[in-house]
Amino acid sequence: MLEKWRLLGAVLAILGGAALGCWIPLKTWEPSLASPSPASPTTDPVDHPEAVGSEDELHFLPGLPLGDGVTIGAPAVLANLSVFPVHSVEQHDVGEVVAIGAAVGSGRTEIRELASSIYNGEVNRLIIQNHDDARVMVLGGTVLRGGFQDRLISSDLVVGPHEVAQVQVYCAERSRWNVFREGVNTKRRFEALPFLAGTRIWIAGHFEDDQSRVWATVADVNQRNQVSTMTGTLLATLANPSFAAERDALADEITAYLLQWDQVVGLAYAVDGKVRSLRMFANDSLFGSFRETMSKTIANEALIARAGQGDDVEGDAGEVTPQEEVRRLVWDLRDHAQLAGETRLTAGNVTRRFHAQRGYSSTTYWLPPAAVEASGEHLARAPVPLTTVVVARL
């Protein structure tokens, strides 16, 4: 009989633990958390917060219960975008982790081409070298500018202290393959930008492993936003000054809303009334390291969706997406997703990917080093979930 894996609040499928070399027990689901029938009424999540925790200490979280001490908060509606905070009682201790943008910006980490020249380079692999004593975390979809061509990181991952890791990437700039970017020598290095590629692009790469589809989706983004580019880079849109100014203003509103709440470990969002994704982190501090990145990412998606819809979209109140729709997506993936693959990009983590008819999900685990007993015996520690992502099929 299979046990259920703890996947950051039990939001994913029932999985077998043997693939990670140990079992991760999960608390038994309460009857009240069974998937509701379409006719089931939804109580007001603000007036009736979910009580979770031990008998000795109850924790009250705002929002609609997702399961295992996790709730989906009320949305902020910003034109065509709905943003939901995700709350969690449980906060996984993952130690010190530095976000990739801060690590690269400070010089403590470098991202570079695998090859020394354009004649022996590889499109879909790069090197991340961590010079620091702290672990560095990278989110799947991170946009990298520079090198021989702009790239996108495939999976969430952690690079250990003083570790050199080869990571999987996808090309986001189809027609450049040299060290000069807009006349500047990149010296084969990259900078990690403070936003991720959109959901459709990330699906094409991370879940479908389809570079041609990545290129086609990038081209569609640029076409929708009426920008021209000689090299076909995604940044023709995302780094366009007018687009960036609008994006940053919207992202500030999203961040301000999320900061109003406590115990926020992630967010979910919907564009044009349709749920796109939910992403959760091990704890609220880790989410805080990527809060602005996530805010800019979903702001990008909202603006790209608005492109070509007319000048009056900005003033439209937008369609409110109910919290129940987010929960239905998560529970559908939890109940029906099938394991599609497992990737160990670095020594310290593993990512498992799942596919279902309605969407995709992936969870990245940190593999802590073995504990050393006084006797000298090494005891393996259970993997700790770092991030969980649920994505609707678009």
> 44-87 pLDDT, tens per residue?
333 333 444 433 333 578 889 998 889 999 999 999 999 999 99
Sequence-ordered list of residues with C-beta below 8 angstroms from that of 66, at least 6 positions apart, any chain? 9, 11, 72, 86, 327, 330
Other C-beta atoms lying within 10 Å of the C-beta of residue 192: 25
- Rounded to whole angstroms, how far apart are CA atoms 117 and 128? 17
Full-prediction pTM beyond 0.75?
yes
Q: Where are the alpha helices (DSSP H) in the chain?
A: 100-105, 199-202, 211-224, 235-238, 241-258, 284-306, 323-336
Least confident piece of the model among 82-86, 203-207, 375-379: 375-379
Long-range contacts of 211-216 (CB under 8 A, 24+ apart): 211/123, 211/124, 211/170, 211/171, 214/152, 214/170, 214/171, 214/172, 215/171, 215/174
**pLDDT one-digit tens code per residue, 270-288:** 999 999 999 999 999 999 9
pLDDT for position 325: 94
- Alpha carbons 307 and 68: distance in angstroms, whole number: 39
Strand, helix or coil for residue 292: helix
Residue 201, pLDDT score: 97
Compute the CA torsion angle 342, 343, 344, 350 (nearest 10 deg).
-60
Is beta strand 264-271 parallel, antiparallel or unpaired with respect to 81-88?
A: antiparallel
